Amino acid sequence: MAATRQIYLGVLLLLAVAASTTSGAAAFGLPRGLRPGHCASVFRTYDTVSPFMTGNTTAIHLGNTKSCVAGYGGRLDPHTAYQFCIPSWVVFTDNGTLVGEAAMNHAAVRPGTAVSGFKRLLGIRQDGSIGLVLDPDSLVGRMYNEMVKREAELVPYHFTEQLGRCGIEMEIEEGNLKRFLPEDVASILVAELKRMAEAHLGREIRYAVVTVPGHFNGVQRSSLVMEAAQWRGGFRTAKLVDEQVAAAAGYRLHEKRGDRKVILVFHLGGRTCHATKFRFKDGSGHLLDEHHDAYLGGDDFTGRVVDYFVELIEEKHHRDIRGDEGTLRKLRAECERAKKLLSDREGVLMNIGSVLGEGADIYEELTRAKFEELNRDLMERGMEIVETVVMEGAPTSQMQSRKDAIDEVILVGGSVRIPMVGQLLEDYFNGRGLIRDEDAVIRGAALLSRPESARYVEECYYGGVSGPLWLAK
């Protein structure tokens, strides 16, 4: 009798679920308009029928300069949050691999053995195309071929073809060449972040939510999620979420409080800049516009300061250090330190004596005003990206109404801490309040890794044609 009652209740439950999914408005957060069987509407693993469980899932965010892992599931309280970040550096040596801080420190001594900023190369062929064989004379072909050429000018290693894709070749020791793919570097970082989270929790983590840039296509998404996170990174299953959606989720704008709001996420990191405008409808993200610059970020700001001090040192101290790689590395490290301090100070003393290796104490001041003067045009380039997305091709007569139509502006990435960046954006939006949070992406991804947020995470990353979560406006 009890068994019959259980079966009866089960049938009623199934009928209720069927009714709720076939009539009326879609449940909040469930993607609509996707072909049955193409994408699951609920975030499920491949080997079970339930969402990822708290404590068994973590969020991964790989950046060009910093990578993070975050999630929930403390030893005593499953709702306790954790977060760890490391520099996005990997070093290959004859004795093994260094990751994070150790790799970055090693790079200061032997830069030719270190890799960072690899994210831009994921899914790229050696001819510059993204996962597809493009006509090298076409507009898209020329654009991506130019990108690979420019990347080659910025890094101390060489690019070569490997498995039909853009591979990296570097000399580990004299005469010892090592070849690998950007996906190999990404998987090493993923594995290290996974190890850190497992050490904190004291147990294995099987599943991951991985953030991806909104402009990544299906091939690039597969490179990051399937290859880097699952096949090589050690996770049984990994799902993805667009970085912009994760940033909004960090402030729970993916829930009902953010429904129908127009959100602009501006990301200015160490090496890239992009702006995305979208809205949530019933919890599903819908893209309005996006624009990005793969070569604009904090490293460019630091480079301007380095160039300034190279000329200053030659003029005042009669030393030309342009061909001295060791001294230039020291100067860049000192300029990077000063740039970060200027976010909270009006001026910083630079220890030029230590840079030049001279015993005497030689100091030069870098003021915030000088830093802004050196980088104003670069920051204004970032503002042009914002305006492109805000306007969506509309005439300038509609500029104010387009600005007013945006409900939330979220600033993410390490370089949004620069005061002038925030000031330019505040001025552009007529003094309105902005959300400035460089960790919004990883924090939002951690929230989306919880079972109750399963419906917001995209499964449609596989294949060469799948795009972002917001396929339709």
Query: For the whole model, what pTM was predicted?
Result: 0.79
Say which residue the tokens 């802004």 belong to. 372
- Residues 6+ positions from 452 with CB-CB distance below 8 Å: none
DSSP tag of 75 = S
Encode the chain (473 residues) as per-residue pLDDT tens digits.
Answer: 444 444 443 433 343 333 333 332 223 333 333 333 333 333 333 333 345 666 688 999 999 889 999 999 866 666 788 999 999 999 888 788 899 999 988 877 777 778 888 787 777 665 544 444 444 444 444 445 566 666 656 666 777 777 777 778 877 776 677 888 888 888 999 999 999 999 999 989 988 999 988 878 777 777 777 777 887 888 888 888 889 889 998 888 877 777 888 999 999 998 889 999 988 887 677 888 889 888 899 999 999 999 999 999 999 988 998 888 788 888 988 999 999 999 999 999 998 888 888 766 788 999 999 999 999 999 999 999 999 999 987 788 888 888 999 999 999 999 999 999 999 999 999 988 899 988 999 999 999 888 777 666 654 433 222 334 443 33
- Residue 217 exposed, middle or buried by CB count within 10 Å (0-12, 13-18, 19+): middle
DSSP tag of 126 = T
Question: CA-to-CA distance for 306 and 370, rounded, in angstroms?
Answer: 13
- Three-state DSSP class for residue 388: helix
User: In order of start, what are the domains of the chain with their CATH numbers?
Assistant: 114-185 (3.30.30.30), 298-373 (3.90.640.10)
**pLDDT confidence of residue 146:** 61
User: CA-CA-CA-CA torsion for 256, 261, 267, 273, nearest 10 degrees?
Assistant: 140
Question: CA-to-CA distance for 165 and 128, rounded, in angstroms?
Answer: 9
Q: Is the Cα dihedral 125, 129, 133, 134 positive or negative?
A: negative
Q: Long-range pairs for 141-150 at CB < 8 Å and ≥24 separation?
A: 147/120, 147/294, 148/121, 148/124, 150/295
